[in-house]
Amino acid sequence: MLSLIHSIKSLLLTILFTLALMNIAVGDQTSHVYGIHDRTPDKIAFINANIYIEPGKLIKQATLVIENGKVVSVEKKAAAPSDARVIDATGHTIYPGFIDPYSDYIFGSTSSGFNFGEPPKYDGDRFGGNAWNDAIHAQINWYSEFEPDPETAKTYIKNGFTALQTARLDGIFQGQGVVVSLADGIPNDLIYNANAQHFGSFNKGSSKQSYPSSLMGSIALIRQTLSDANWYKEAKGKMSSLPEGKKVEFNAALEALNELATTGLMFNSDDSLSTLRASSLFKPYQLNVSYIADNQEYARLPEIKNTQATFVLPVNFPKQPDVSSFESQLDTSLAELRHWERAPGNAAVLEKNKIEFAFTQYGLEKKSQFWDEVKKTIQHGLSEKAALAALTTVPAKLAGIESKVGRLQPGMMADFVITDGNIFTKGKVKSVYLQGQEQNFEPLSPINVAGTYQLTINNKSIRLTLTQEGETVSGELFASEKSESTSKNNDSKNDKANLKPDDLISLESVSLSGNQLSFHANLTPLGLDGVFRFSLHKSQQQFSGIITFPGFARENISLTLIEPANKSSKDTNETDKKAINYVGKLTFPNRAFGQIKSPKQVSLHIKNATVWTSEKAGILVNTDILIRNGEITQIGKSLSTPSGYQVIDATGKHVTAGIIDEHSHIAISKGVNEGSDAITAEVRIGDVVNPDDINIYRALAGGTTAAQLLHGSANPIGGQAQVIKLRWGANAEELKFKQAPPSIKFALGENVKQSNWGDQFTIRYPQTRMGVDTIVRDAFLRAREYKQSFDVYDDLSRSQQKQTAPPRVDYRKEALDEIMANKRFVHAHSYVASEILNLMQIAEDFGFKIQTFTHILEGYKVADEMAKHGASASTFADWWAYKFEVYDAIPGNTCLMMKNGVNVSVNSDSGDLIRRLNTEAAKSINYCGMTPEDAIKMVTINPAKQLKVDKYTGSIKAGKDADFVIWSGNPLSIYSKVEQTWIEGRRYFDIEEDEKMRIQLSTEKSQLIQKALSSDNASSTAKNGHSESRSANDSELQRYLLKDNTVWHCEDNFDFWHFINNKTSTKQSVQQGGH
Amino acid sequence: MTLKHLITGLVIATVAFKLTANDMVPGKQANTTTLIKNATVHTVSQGVLTQTDVLITKSTISKIGKNLPSPEGAEIIDATGKHLYPGLIALTTTLGLVEIGAVRATRDAQEVGRATPEVKAHVAYNADSEIIPTVRSNGITYVEIAPTGNGITGQGSVMQLDSWNWQDGLVKAGVSMHMQWPNTGINKSFWEQRSPTKQKEDNDKAQKQLEELFEKIKAYAKARKSDSNTAIDVRWEAMRPIIDGLTPLFIHANDYRQIVQAINFGNQHKIKIVLVGARDAAMALDLIKSTQTPIIFTAPWGQPARSDDGYNVAYTTPSLLETNQIPYALAIEGDWNVRDLPFAAGQSVAHGTSKAMALRSVTLEPARILGLEQQLGSIEENKQATLILSKGDIFDHLSHSVEWMMINGRIVDLNNRHKQLYEKYSNK
């Protein structure tokens, strides 16, 4: 009952409060005024305050004058104007109001509109001249949807925020944001910048449209869309050039995107690796892009600095990993522990490296935690100046309102925060002014009632001690005679100290409101039977009021202060800075087995090895190899060691060229298939290379030094491939095998006709091998036509050109054209004889060649035709029977193709087999009698030829890259192990070093676990360690979990975005048919 | 566990496929005697005997020794330079139950429901599967076939791989009861959108349900024992040999926590268990040893399960088991890939296992786990004549070449679909 009354009371108060503000807030500029015009003067002078007029500029004993929602003056020790209301802010600090540059505020954020089990949706919803893709809605101006929401605003204001930049955080191009004041009022008065930054992300959000279904798809869509926007600028209002020859369409989204150059873009890439991807994506357009950080920027710092972007830092640092038991520790990785330890230091690292950043409340589960988290960044070494800049000037600049807010200068908005001391240490927000309106959380000088008082009831002498924390008061009553009788010299404090707990009577229902204090207490222990109620008000040093006796009698009473409480000052500048000492290491990548530094290139003399050259020379026994500057310089017997060379005695060991995998899906982020459209030649695996994938290191431990990362097999023409060298520790760009010519994945058969995708997937063309033939032919016809359109345009006269739109660059067709021009090489996933023959026919009809048939399990049936066409083959050693189209697969496939003159390799298509391609090759020895020399070629020089990198790698030959493996014995024997793996004269794997590293990693992990166990909140981990938040972005950010690297397969075709956006993700929508 | 594994079985394939019988004719029971002369005999039980003869009478190994006299009418096999092994035994397979993984019509390994102890693998065994001869020709002679899925999946059976039909092939029914232990860890795959807390709750719930299920089953068994008129529930009836400790429960458990819980569960309910999977066995060596829990290790090429694990954690587990004197069988779960079993044993040798233990792990140990160690798994006098003869070491691709096979005295045709297709297209 009491609580009900209480809530009604607070509701009424809220309404009253709101009405009062509304009265002031409603402007009369363009609105009609009903009733009496408000002309209350609102000039206020804050005196005796410590005022930060901007980061690093503190004026002590300053006077701030505001009027009409603006700052009039800030001056040291200035007298308050005579017409101003004066507020004494002694002991308080004033900061410019904080600005959050990235908020969903009233608009909400990404949530999937997709339900698993629904049929795919290939077309977008068209209205209002929008873009073809539902994830692009750049034409929305979010200011037109804006109305303030005081409840949500309060979660910001309480932390000192006065303005924020906001949009609905949904989709790829999300529209143009709006910067608003958090004050209460009509939107017209609150909008600070209606033309703020555009917002964007890689996540298609609520769009149900299939395309894009992967990160690389999103990147391709952005690339095409930005190019289209440029084209649209030229083309608008003209006739399009051939072949369409139509009027150029009206496109509101493209029109809006042409503002990007002036407005800039606020981009949420989801993680710092993707930030680097976004940065290269936007580079050609010279846009001003700011990125939402994931606080792992410290782990790839040079690259991050290179972006020259401003970062927006959430402060949702990882919760402490659960290491409370051995069992729970099993789920906690070293990477998670390291990141838990260092994440709060990310801001300090950025400051030290002069990377500009702002803070945001985005991503915080509980906004009330904001300051606790920000203080951690200070404890980890961030300067208060940079922290304040991250809350004021930096976000003001991002939001395009730096002339209005972010500092306290005459003429700027009266948006500021009053705290009772240094907010970066112990100070708390007491009051926030928004456009001159106060939102008060605690009175500036609250009545202080703490102390010890003397009172008398029924001639009994009683003492009352009151303690006060903010507006919360508690206290105790006890008899005072006892102490007086025992020791007269004792002061009142000791009185209480000498008492047993039983003698203390706690006050109940204590309420302090203004200077009114009320409470009740059961005084029976004092010999006064019953519960007594007190209603007091404070004046000067004493309380007076009435006491209500149990029998309703009332008496006046007065309480005299005999001992004031000690006052503690919060205005301390000493930061709670313990020197931060990280136990965790920082490696590249920052996880177990990461490199402390890049391996050194050495000059090397390998002595007395059995060398499998993969060349005509064959297998050479007792042979030496010299290596310098990353190249093999000499092969011979008993060579002398040049000075400065390291020597490896390889007696009894075997050396082969580094193993090369024609078909791999390791080191790929967020989707291996853009399995939406049937033709997706525009997507690029090269955009989503993941240098942090542990599978790189594990593949090195199996002797693999290079791999072609292929798009999956979900569509007839899939994405562009990326050849990498496994330079573990390098960044994504450095992993790329630069000399490898461009290539692309095609696919045929069951996967592309969606045979095993489930019953919903029956509407995409093609559903048969007949359709696969025609859709591929159609794609090439269109690409040919596309190329011709450029010639046609060039041939137009100048006046004709003026009226004609230039041809639109189409990245999909560009890739197809490169294939026909023999600049991009096709690796075609294929199984059965008919489709293999047919694809060769198509290629020949369009004047190109299939470089490699990959998988090609029925290659043995058409080996002579393949040889004639000039196609090579990369197959599984012995896989079969996992789906119908591989029922005729045989392990003798390799031998039969090779006998017919086809270049043959074996590939992995898995994170497992890439670790042991040597024994995969050896299977051809026991299944079809291949020679060992030919078998080793199947994983070295043959795949090198297929990837057209045989000039550089794939055999042990003078002049080639020093990419090689040292084996404990015959490399094809099941009994042999890899001992060392080298790339370009750098040692990336060493079996002994690996052992040592494991001991170090184990020590480091145990130290981190000790640190976690002994840290303050160790006990609360179990409860708070995991977030229940289901918003996709939030849950991703909030968990302490770092998601595992996914090992993709060809057929891992599903919509990545639908998966991570969906709240109840299961595996049901996933198809699986085999490779 | 990879996404691929989890989604297997959710695939809906619409292709109906009529299976054709394989062309290999099952061998006839030998009436004669066979003398294998001068072989390197890998006896398993008595080490490797060089230049040794083995005499087979009907379906039994009757004599082992040097320069054995040749009985009249005996077929003589000159095995000079060749290696004689007991036939390999593959555990926990779906041979004959699955023909083409992606084609639903050809899958008979997984029944619907969380507890289907009543189903028996052998009744669905397709003796004409094209896969069987391809596995056989690599040296595998006996297999345990078992239902798959979640929860209690059903009864395993031992089959010999050269038969006209399942009745002909069946060696021992109800040899095992398979069960997947509930998840214990936190899944960190991107597609797992349940929070760690929710996952833990779900894990605990699944375990509680399992406990409750066992209480129910025990109550049923008790009721049936005391009153034979108690109505039969086919599911729980099938569990009675487990409750009575007659048949082992094959618990599939990989995570350390699963292993510990499974072993404790076995002790608590006083039932016999066999651990299948045992990926994290290296963490629980003491417990496994002290409880003498039989192990079927199924991750010879296992990928590291955790972010911080070394690349070879799975590779080296068999050698750790051996060092700690824990006997184990090596197995490959699946169907067509079971033919890699000899190489899996070789792989363990590369990472520290002795050759003797490696061979034992694919012969005598599986025989022991199946309760067939009196007949199978080693070359000993009076044991069954189930033998393979290879040109060289069967563990290594460089030398593996099975030329002759006998299962229970029957000579096995080592041809298969792959060899036939190879032959056909060699003539193109």
Torsion of CA B56, B60, B62, B64, to 10 degrees: 70
Q: pLDDT digits over A941-960, tens only?
A: 999 999 999 999 999 999 99
Q: Which regions of A755-909 does DSSP assign to beta strands (E)?
A: 825-830, 850-855, 872-875, 904-906
Q: Are B25 and B414 in contact (CB under 8 A)?
A: no
CATH code of the domain covering residue B273: 3.20.20.140
Residue window 453-472, chain A: list those with CB within 8 Å of chain B.
none
Q: Is the pLDDT of residue A1020 over 80?
A: no
Q: What is the pLDDT of residue A479?
A: 85
Nearest of A875, A852, A984 to residue A939 by alpha carbon: A875
A24 pLDDT tier (thresholds 50, 70, 90): very low
List the CATH code of the domain at A451-564: 2.40.128.520
Q: Are A309 and A276 in contact (CB under 8 A)?
A: no
Q: pLDDT digits over A892-912, tens only?
A: 999 999 999 999 999 999 999
Distance from CA of B422 to the nearest CA of A (A): 6
Q: pLDDT digits over A214-237, tens only?
A: 999 999 999 999 999 999 999 998
Q: Is the pLDDT of residue A447 over 80?
A: no
DSSP designation for B107: B
Q: What is the pLDDT of residue A561?
A: 85
Number of C-beta neighbours around residue A901 at 10 A: 13
A vs B: CB pairs below 8 A: 211
From the list A756, A880, A912, the residue facing B303 with the nearest CB is A912
Q: What is the pLDDT of residue A817?
A: 98
- The per-residue DSSP string of A902-948 comes to --EEE---STTGGG-HHHHHHHHHHHH---HHHHHHTTTHHHHHHTT
Q: What is the pLDDT of residue A580?
A: 82
Provide the domain limits for residue B356.
88-376
Look at the block and give the residue holding tokens 């048949």: B247
**Chain B positions in Cβ-Cβ contact with residue A915 (cut-off 8 Å):** 303, 311
Domain spanning A98-403: CATH superfamily: Metal-dependent hydrolases (3.20.20.140)
Look at the block and give the residue holding tokens 């993707």: A274
Kindly state the tokens that stand for A643: 């000075």
Determine the average pLDDT of the residues in A468-481: 81
A399 pLDDT tier (thresholds 50, 70, 90): very high
Distance between CA atoms of residues A683 and A672, nearest Å:
10
Q: What is the pLDDT of residue B192?
A: 84
Residue window 252-311, chain B: list those with CB within 8 Å of chain A.
255-257, 301, 303-304, 306-308, 310-311
Whole-number average pLDDT of chain A? 90
A1049 pLDDT tier (thresholds 50, 70, 90): confident
A513 pLDDT tier (thresholds 50, 70, 90): confident
Residue window 380-399, chain B: list those with CB within 8 Å of chain A.
395-399
Q: What is the pLDDT of residue A1034?
A: 36
Half-sphere exposure of B404 (CA within 13 A, CB side): 18
**Chain A positions in Cβ-Cβ contact with residue B95 (cut-off 8 Å):** none
Q: Are A938 and A902 in contact (CB under 8 A)?
A: no
A538 pLDDT tier (thresholds 50, 70, 90): confident
Whole-number average pLDDT of chain B? 93
Q: pLDDT digits over A961-979, tens only?
A: 999 999 999 999 999 999 9
Q: Are A217 and A673 in contact (CB under 8 A)?
A: no
Kindly state the tokens that stand for A1042: 């770092």
Q: Is the pLDDT of residue A302 over 80?
A: yes
Q: What is the pLDDT of residue B10?
A: 38
Determine the average pLDDT of the residues in A360-386: 95
Q: Residue B196 and residue A322: Cβ atoms within 8 Å?
A: yes
Kindly state the tokens that stand for A194: 């209606």
Q: Is the pLDDT of residue B194 over 70?
A: yes
Distance from CA of A582 to the nearest CA of B (A): 19
Is the pLDDT higher at A897 or at A440?
A: A897
ipTM (interface predicted TM): 0.94
Q: Is the pLDDT of residue B18 over 80?
A: no
Q: Residue A1072 and residue B102: Cβ atoms within 8 Å?
A: yes
Asked if A919 is an interface residue toward chain B (Cβ–Cβ < 8 A), one would say yes
Kindly state the tokens that stand for A691: 């240098």
> What H or E segment, with its residue span, contains residue A967?
strand A964-967
Helix A334-342 and helix A991-1014, axial crossing angle in degrees, nearest 10 = 50
Q: Are A854 and A662 in contact (CB under 8 A)?
A: yes
User: What are the beta bridge partners of residue A989?
Assistant: A981
The pTM for the full model equals 0.90
Q: Name every residue whose Cβ is closer than 8 Å to that of residue A638 and which is 6 or more positions away in sequence.
A: A624
Asked if A51 is an interface residue toward chain B (Cβ–Cβ < 8 A), one would say no
What share of chain B in percent tops pLDDT 90? 90
Number of domains composing chain B: 1
Q: pLDDT digits over A578-612, tens only?
A: 568 999 999 999 999 999 999 999 999 999 999 99
Residue window 554-613, chain A: list those with CB within 8 Å of chain B.
591-592
Distance from CA of A592 to the nearest CA of B (A): 5
Asked if B234 is an interface residue toward chain A (Cβ–Cβ < 8 A), one would say no
Q: pLDDT digits over B142-159, tens only?
A: 999 999 999 999 999 999
Is the pLDDT higher at A573 or at A479?
A: A479
Peptide bond into A212 cis (omega under 30): yes
- Residue A194 CA: distances (Å) to CA of A152, A188, A402, A436, B398: 20, 10, 14, 21, 74
Nearest of A981, A1001, A1002, A998 to residue A990 by alpha carbon: A981
Determine the average pLDDT of the residues in A325-340: 94
Determine the average pLDDT of the residues in A100-122: 86
Distance between CA atoms of residues B9 and B98, nearest Å:
12
Distance from CA of A1070 to the nearest CA of B (A): 7
Q: Residue B130 and residue A916: Cβ atoms within 8 Å?
A: no
Determine the average pLDDT of the residues in A81-94: 94
> What H or E segment, with its residue span, contains residue A397?
helix A393-398
Asked if A977 is an interface residue toward chain B (Cβ–Cβ < 8 A), one would say yes
Q: Residue B198 and residue A915: Cβ atoms within 8 Å?
A: no
Q: What is the pLDDT of residue A487?
A: 43
Nearest of A271, A273, A301 to residue A363 by alpha carbon: A271
Number of C-beta neighbours around residue A41 at 10 A: 10
Residue window 736-775, chain A: list those with CB within 8 Å of chain B.
750, 755-756, 758-759
Distance between CA atoms of residues A858 and A897, nearest Å:
10
Residue window 28-87, chain B: list those with CB within 8 Å of chain A.
none
Nearest residue of chain B to residue A864 (CA atoms): B428
Q: Are A833 and A866 in contact (CB under 8 A)?
A: no
Q: What is the pLDDT of residue A14?
A: 52
Handedness of CA A641, A646, A647, A648 (dihedral sign): negative
Determine the average pLDDT of the residues in A521-534: 88
Distance between CA atoms of residues A1011 and A1020, nearest Å:
15
Q: What is the pLDDT of residue A1030?
A: 34
Determine the average pLDDT of the residues in A64-74: 96
Q: Are A55 and A385 in contact (CB under 8 A)?
A: yes
A7 pLDDT tier (thresholds 50, 70, 90): low
CATH 3.20.20.140 in chain A is located at 98-403
Q: What is the pLDDT of residue A269?
A: 96
Kindly state the tokens that stand for A941: 């020089």
User: Would residue B392 count as lying in a domain?
Assistant: no
CATH 2.40.128.520 in chain A is located at 451-564
Determine the average pLDDT of the residues in B3-9: 42
Is B245 strand, coil or helix?
coil
What share of chain A in percent tops pLDDT 90? 73
Determine the average pLDDT of the residues in B42-64: 97
Q: Are B54 and B64 in contact (CB under 8 A)?
A: yes
